[in-house]
Amino acid sequence: MPAKLYVVHGSHPCDTVAKALELKGIAYKRIELPPPSHALVMRPLFGGRTVPGIRFEDGTKVQGSRAILRELERRVPEPPLYGGPEVDEAERWGDEVLQPVARRLLWPSFQRHPEAMHAYQEGQRGPKLPLPVIKAAAPVITRVERRMNAATDAAARADLQALPGLLDKIDAWIAAGVLGGAQPNAADLQIAPTLRLLHTIGDVRPLIAGRPAEELAFRYFDRLPGETPAGLFPAEWLPAQPAVTA
């Protein structure tokens, strides 16, 4: 029996693990869980509420993208996902610092414009919910997800202001060769899916556009089908854009 990977459709850390399994050539069965009720399944199975989680064919269970990637590396060393302390640090940062930013910005966006949630279902295994159902369920779903992810208005505003500095850090890693190689490493797999998800947020996309980080977002992963419109966040929350010079 192949490994079982428990995911939420569209989850960036789940995409991290799915790509790593593909690179390692490990067969697996994908089990999609709907948010926010995925926590009710994950906690009894793995001990924590978050996805991804994987159960290998020998019964070993591992939860969390970084822990899963380490276990994949142990089981199938080639192609390698790790290559020194710089990659380790970028992977840790991508998981602990960058990854939560996407959640804290996406769920407030969905709350402000629930219609956008419909397109993000594209590609999921189960049937898509009709738009009227999504709009009816969105107030409860977005409220629960914002609470679970500490996605307050204050956090969203702080994240938007901090994003240019975070993107500068990613661009510097790309310039140094830590990210963006011909063969993706663990840090690429952590950071690129988050950039890809952030790129779907209309108020965030201009902050990423034209940077090396934008190319990284789609170097190893396809574009996502959904997007939220610009203008959902107050203008004063957004960082100042550099002036265009002639």
Mean pLDDT, contiguous 10-residue spans, the chain (246 residues):
94 98 98 92 95 98 98 98 97 99 98 97 91 96 95 99 99 99 98 99 98 99 97 97 50
C-alpha–C-alpha distance, residues 54 and 48, integer Å: 12
The CATH architecture annotation of domain 85-237 reads Up-down Bundle (1.20)
Residue 243's pLDDT is what? 47
Q: Which residues have a Cβ under 8 Å from the Cβ of 9 and sit 6 or more positions away?
A: 32, 121, 123, 124, 125
Residue 246's pLDDT is what? 37
Query: 3.90.230.10, 3.40.30.10, 1.25.40.10, 1.10.10.60: which CATH number matches 3-75?
Result: 3.40.30.10
For the record, the structure tokens of 179 come out as 């990210």
Domain with CATH 1.20.1050 in the chain: 85-237
Question: What is the value of pTM for the model shown?
Answer: 0.95
Rounded-to-10 torsion of CA 189, 195, 200, 206? -160
Residue 242's pLDDT is what? 61
